Structure 1
Amino acid sequence: MQTNPANLSPMKIAIISDTHGLLRPEALTAVQGVDLIIHAGDIGAAEILAQLAEVAPVQAVRGNNDLNLPWAADLPDHLTLDLNGWPALLTHDIADVAALLDSSIKLIITGHSHKPLIEWRGDRLYINPGSAGRRRFKLPVTLALLDVGVDTLEPQLIQLLP
């Protein structure tokens, strides 16, 4: 799926996960002005996707906590995306990545653990934006922003609460 027109101008993408029915005002503020929002699952309520869609187009997968929610039945378990020429895999749980990964994928986006991660592994970038919903244990409340150029990926973790 091509998410950016053929001109391949730089894109700014917001990556959010594990909202669990809570879309914080700080998260809405942080995603303003992006070209695309990616939700990596455990959304919790259809209204969250609707609110995000008022800011920018949304691509989302369902998480383990979305499985039995009727509104989430049509959401995929994983997506492959073309983000400015960067082949990307979006799935909720990193445990599912190995079975879905092919050699062309350069960006892997997951959620589930609530632990933020931005890590290059060879020529692949792994991003887990952490949880933007309710705080779990003492983990931070975060999301990620990603600047996508034709030949660069520049991720940034955004802390939503002190």
Structure 2
Amino acid sequence: MSVLYLCKGTCKRLHTIKKIFLLSDTHSYIDTAISRYASTADEVWHAGDIGSVEVTDTLAALSPQLRAVYGNIDDTSLRLRFPLDQVFEIEGLKVWITHIGGYPGRYSKRVKDLWPEIRPNLFICGHSHILKVIKDTKKQCLHLNPGAVGHHGFHQMRTALLFELSEGTVRNLEIIEFGKRGML
């Protein structure tokens, strides 16, 4: 979505706002509630343990942009389609998405080793099935883990995140709850 300002007959772009739907650990599960959120976003980001290509095919059909990484349960078909890491810049932020990453103070060895090279403003991972939003003051970045939106795992509540990116900031962050795990 672009915000425009009309000035003497010409439009000048002031800034853009990107609405992001972030999910993880679908474990082959997608439903109409998840699809509804995906269809309202400018981009959908999946932080791994997708489970099946049907999940990402559905998400890609609903959103103008899908970014995903494979997780530890994902088979060869998903590993050939998606990378282990997504590193990109968007709306003034450097974003790093991976599946197994840890969290501030307890990052995985691989993440610690790669951090000096990547230096993200926004670090996203899944795997733990635990929703986390933590400002890492030591590394000067925001850490997001959307929890798990699928039904497989030990989590109690199925969760995802919805937020906006604009001018180098994450804003209007919402936790989306999809009900208890196992309640179909």
Q: Into which bin does the TM-score normalised by the smaller protein fall?
A: 0.7 to 0.9
- CA gap of 1:157–1:135, structure 2 versus 1, over 3 A, is farther
TM-score, normalised by the number of residues in structure 1:
0.87
Identity of paired residues, percent? 28
Q: 2:69 matched to which residue of 1? A: 61
Inter-partner Cα distance in structure 2 for 1:39 and 1:64:
13
1:70 match: secondary structure: helix
Q: 1:45 matched to which residue of 2? A: 52
Q: CA deviation at 1:100?
A: 2.4
Residue 23 of structure 2, aligned match among 16, 23, 26: 16
Inter-partner Cα distance in structure 2 for 1:71 and 1:34:
23
Q: CA deviation at 1:135?
A: 4.9
Matched, 1:97 2:111: yes
Inter-partner Cα distance in structure 2 for 1:71 and 1:147:
27
Matched, 1:108 2:126: no
Residues 15-44 of structure 1, C-alpha deviations (whole Å, 9 max, x = no match): 110000001222112223211011100001
Q: CA deviation at 1:138?
A: 4.4
Inter-partner Cα distance in structure 2 for 1:100 and 1:157:
29
1:54 match: secondary structure: helix
Following superposition of structure 1 onto structure 2, how do residues 147-162 of structure 1 map, counting pairs within 5 Å? 147-154=164-171, 155-161=173-179
The CA RMSD measured in Å over matched residues stands at 1.9
Amino acid across the alignment from 1:69: T
- CA gap of 1:152–1:64, structure 2 versus 1, over 3 A, is same
Inter-partner Cα distance in structure 2 for 1:104 and 1:137:
31
Query: Is the Cα contact below 8 Å between 2:29 and 2:55 reproduced in 1?
Result: yes
Following superposition of structure 1 onto structure 2, how do residues 122-141 of structure 1 map, counting pairs within 5 Å? 122=137, 123-141=140-158
Query: Is the Cα contact below 8 Å between 1:39 and 1:61 reproduced in 2?
Result: yes
Query: Is the Cα contact below 8 Å between 1:24 and 1:133 reproduced in 2?
Result: no
Amino acid across the alignment from 1:120: K
Query: Is the Cα contact below 8 Å between 2:95 and 2:120 reproduced in 1?
Result: yes
Query: Is the Cα contact below 8 Å between 1:20 and 1:133 reproduced in 2?
Result: yes
Relative contact order: is structure 1 or structure 2 higher (C-alpha 8 Å, sep ≥ 6)? Answer: 1
Q: Indicate the larger mover: 135-144 or 122-131.
A: 135-144
The alignment covers a number of residue pairs equal to 156
Runs of 4+ in 1 over 3 A off after TM superposition: none
- Structure possessing the higher radius of gyration over alpha carbons: 2
Q: Structure 1, unaligned stretches of length 5 or more?
A: none
Query: Is the Cα contact below 8 Å between 2:48 and 2:127 reproduced in 1?
Result: yes
2:35 match: secondary structure: helix
Residue 117 of structure 1, aligned match among 107, 132, 140: 132
